[in-house]
Amino acid sequence: MADLRIVESEILSGFESDDGSYEVLHERATYVMVDPPADQNPLVQMFVAAERWVADRDLALALHGKAGGQRKSLMVLYPAVADQLGPDDAAFQKGGLVSPVERHGGRGNSRVYSRKALVLFAMAARTGNARSFRRWLAGEAAYRL
C-alpha cells in the first residue's frame, strides 16, 4: 500500500495558547503518494516468483495493496486488456485443475491469469503498486534485456 507524504501545508486558522505555542485548528495540506519500493511491491514479487497462474483475488490484492472490494476492479480493467490476452492467458480453476476459458464454459471456483496478464493488468491499473511495478519493469527492460 502506498504511503502519503505532505508536500505543502497551509494553516487556515489557529490561536496562541497560554504557554506561547500556536495551536492549529484548521489546516489544508497537499499530499502525494509515495510508491512502495520494488522489493516490497507484491506485483514485483508475483512476477519474480514466476508462477504459471495467478489467482484473480491475489492479483487484485497486489494491485491495490489492501483487502476489500478490489476484485471488481479487475472486471473494470478487463476491457482495457481483453484484446491483448491470448487463449492461454486466462483460465478457470476448480479443485486444483486449470481449464482454458473456452473449454470450461465460464464456470469455476476462481479465474486465474498468466504472468503476461499480470503485466497487462499492471500496465492498465492506476494504483501506487501498479505505478511502482511499471517503473521497476521499465528499469529491468532497459538495463537487463
pLDDT at 63: 87
Structural domain of residue 4, as residue ranges?
A: 1-34
Claim to verify: residue 56 and residue 68 sit in the same structural domain: yes
Claim to verify: residue 1 and residue 47 sit in the same structural domain: no
Q: What contacts 93, CB < 8 A, 6 or more positions away?
A: 53, 55, 99, 108, 109, 110, 111, 112
Query: Mean pLDDT across the stretch 23-50?
Result: 77
pLDDT at 109: 61
Claim to verify: residue 28 and residue 48 sit in the same structural domain: no
pLDDT at 120: 93
Q: What contacts 6, CB < 8 A, 6 or more positions away?
A: 29, 30, 31
Cβ atoms of 119 and 141 within 8 Å: the answer is no
Q: Residue 81 is placed in which grid cell?
A: 486488456
Claim to verify: residue 18 and residue 43 sit in the same structural domain: no
Helix (H, G, I), strand (E, B) or coil at 105: coil
Phi-psi region of 95 (alpha: psi -120 to 50; beta: other; left: phi over 0): left
Claim to verify: residue 54 and residue 89 sit in the same structural domain: yes
Claim to verify: residue 44 and residue 94 sit in the same structural domain: yes
Q: How many domains does the chain have?
A: 2
Claim to verify: residue 61 and residue 14 sit in the same structural domain: no
Claim to verify: residue 44 and residue 80 sit in the same structural domain: yes
Question: pLDDT-based confidence at 118, cuts 50/70/90?
Answer: very high
Claim to verify: residue 73 and residue 123 sit in the same structural domain: yes
Claim to verify: residue 30 and residue 43 sit in the same structural domain: no
- Does residue 2 surpass a pLDDT of 50? no
Claim to verify: residue 49 and residue 18 sit in the same structural domain: no
Query: Mean pLDDT across the stretch 77-90?
Result: 86
Claim to verify: residue 76 and residue 140 sit in the same structural domain: yes
Judge if pTM exceeds 0.85.
no
Query: Mean pLDDT across the stretch 67-91?
Result: 78
Question: pLDDT-based confidence at 1, cuts 50/70/90?
Answer: very low
Question: Can you tell me the distance from the alpha carbon of 33 to that of 36, in angstroms, rounded to the nearest whole number?
Answer: 9
pLDDT at 92: 72
Give one DSSP letter per residue of 35-69, joined into a string: PPPGGG-HHHHHHHHT-S-EEHHHHHHHHHSS-SS
